[in-house]
Structure 1
Amino acid sequence: MLFHLSGIYCALYFLATLLMIVYKSRVFSCPHSYLGLDLMLLSLMGPLEAARLHLGMKGNLTEAEVPLAASVALTVGIGLLSVYFLLWQTMVLWADWVLSTTLLALHGLEAALQVVVITAFVR
């Protein structure tokens, strides 16, 4: 259930972040090279998130530890990208802060539950 919620939220997160990057480029005077970096990292985050969700669902349904462990590893990488969008992107708006904090909380909950499930599968 949490993977489905995360999939829906991540799709909305990507759309909202993309629209905010466009907004920042139009309204504020930001160097376009920095906004290009933000776009590149956002486009990197999309396939990583899809792979993380796929491996997590596959590991959960087949009760396999390896896909779940790979999903946890991808969660750490995506968490670092979320921290970038929370703290270090070119301009952090209040909406960026709210969206990224919610995403980090959701990923933290998923990672904790995945570790619990992995330990249950190993036993």
Structure 2
Amino acid sequence: MAIGQAGKNTNILSSILLQILLYLSGAYSVFYFLSTLSMIIYKSHVLSYPDGQLTLDVCLLFLMAGFEVMRVYWGVRGNLQESEIYTGSNLIAMVATVLLALYFVIWQSYVLRADVIIGAILLCLYGLTGIMGLGAFARFTS
């Protein structure tokens, strides 16, 4: 418990571990996006993509990048401001990014071993961040 300016007791509810995980997952997401885009380009040149699947994979990757930017922003802002709305929005955006990450690990047209490895690391980061986010959300709402 910390003592505020006027001698009032103020509780700090934000989580340093959640903040670290958000920054780490944000940085890893940049690596994930660039490497997945590179692998899609590689697969499009080496393998014959079914009609429309290349466009779908690229569009879903950019959609995932958009959700990821919102997820990290809302998570950082929600944790620092101890906001239930932003933290809850972070968790909802995480569901979308997890589903898209699962698409790239399981359901995309061609899945390389590298896709599975970098996707598994991303999903582990999402899992840790989700657990810490749920804990922070529970503290903020109580």
TM range (shorter): over 0.9
Higher fraction of helix: 1
What 5-or-longer segments of structure 2 have no aligned partner?
A: 1-19
Match of 2:87 among 55, 63, 68: 68
What 5-or-longer segments of structure 1 have no aligned partner?
A: none
What CA distance in whole angstroms lies between the structure 2 residues aligned with 1:47 and 1:106? 18
Please report how far the alpha carbon of residue 14 of structure 1 lies from its aligned counterpart in structure 2 after TM superposition. 0.2
What CA distance in whole angstroms lies between the structure 2 residues aligned with 1:99 and 1:32? 26
Q: Which residue of 1 aligns with 2:135?
A: 116
Q: Which residue of 1 aligns with 2:36?
A: 17
Match of 1:103 among 117, 122, 128: 122
Q: Which amino acid is the alignment partner of residue 95 of structure 1? A: A
- What is the aligned-residue RMSD (CA, Å)? 0.8
Q: Which amino acid is the alignment partner of residue 85 of structure 1? A: F
Identity of aligned residues (%): 41
Please report how far the alpha carbon of residue 63 of structure 1 lies from its aligned counterpart in structure 2 after TM superposition. 0.6
Q: Which amino acid is the alignment partner of residue 125 of structure 2? A: L
Q: TM-score with structure 2 length normalisation?
A: 0.84
Superposed structure 1 runs of 4+ greater than 2 Å apart: none
Describe the SS at the equivalent of 1:91: coil
